[in-house]
Amino acid sequence: MKTRLLLPGILGLVVLSIGIVVWMTSGTHPFSTLEANQIESVHVRMIPPSIQYELSNEKAEEFCKLLNDVVTYRTFSPEPMTGQFVEFTVQMQNGEIHTIQPFANIITIDDVTYQTAYDPSEALNHFANQNIPDSFTHS
């Protein structure tokens, strides 16, 4: 008799646990439908080094492909962090402006901070560092 009551309870906990795991790990791809022809310009700002520059149209296409891979999970308020600050300011053809700040497994999009997959976020950071022009503007 006790096992008949215990089994549904255990089964319920398992289903609830699976639901919580799926909910916490299912993400969204906020830029999955973005195409390069929708982008007017992309400005990059990095500290350190304290520089800013604009991506060429060709590099903006590469940037767009990297953004397509970004996945966000849940919003949260991170603790203060130490490391390189990278910010992309994206001016869209329709006049919208978006700011994207990747940092390890978090990403801030338009002032909202999300947990994210590490690899796409790190790819954006690496992209910013790899594309610093020979002559850059100090900020």
Check residue 68 and give its pLDDT: 95
Distance, CA of 36 to CA of 64 (rounded, Å): 6
Q: Which of 11-15, 66-70, 116-120 has the lowest mean pLDDT?
A: 11-15
Q: Nearest 5 degrees, angle CA 119-CA 121-CA 126?
A: 90
**Type of residue at 65:** K
pTM for the structure as a whole: 0.78
Least confident of 8-12, 60-64, 66-70, 84-88: 8-12
- Domain assignment of residue 19, given as a range: 2-138
Question: Higher-confidence residue: 13 or 44?
Answer: 44
58-95 CB burial, b ≥16 within 10 A, e <16: ebbeebbebbbebbbbeeeeeeeeeeeebbbbbeeeee
The first and second tokens of residue 113, run together, are 């901070």
- As for how many domains the chain has, the answer is 1
